[in-house]
Structure 1
């Protein structure tokens, strides 16, 4: 099995907006690209555990609120 950590889209966007960050500001604070943050918010891209933790800390939310773990069988 492979695992992917993906954003809970609505919770992630809400947390970013409540914190007062645009996608570009969140990207700048987290060291990620604006394009990557956009893809995360649409659950197109997954993140690694350390990046998920960093984003959760920046947005003052629990990791489990902002992200979900998807288990996928290997081909």
Structure 2
């Protein structure tokens, strides 16, 4: 399973929430560098981390992530 951020939707959700990358990192318990890699679709994310980010951003998982089961 590969879970990648939908770049535009992910950034829009973060900005709508009023978070900088550093603030989202702080609220989610992740590093700022990791958030940056996610937003640029360089790094994939695990299921539990994707769930945590969707909860912090108050978005459905499928709204901000592409889930590829292959």
The TM-score bracket by the shorter chain reads: over 0.9
Q: How does 1:48-59 map to 2 (within 5 A)?
A: 48-59=46-57
Richer in strand (by share): 1
* Other structure's SS at 2:12 match: helix
Larger Rg: 1
What is the TM-score of this pair, normalised by structure 1? 0.89
* Aligned position for 1:33: 31
* Structure 1 residue 70 displacement after superposition: 2.7
Q: CA RMSD in A?
A: 0.9
* Structure 1 residue 69 displacement after superposition: 1.5
Distance 1:30 1:63 in 2: 15
| C-alpha distance after superposition, 1:9-43 (max 9, x if no partner) | 00000000000000000001111000000000001
Richer in helix (by share): 2
4+ residue runs over 4 A deviation? none
| C-alpha distance after superposition, 1:27-62 (max 9, x if no partner) | 011110000000000010001000000000000100
Distance 1:18 1:38 in 2: 17
What is the TM-score of this pair, normalised by structure 2? 0.95
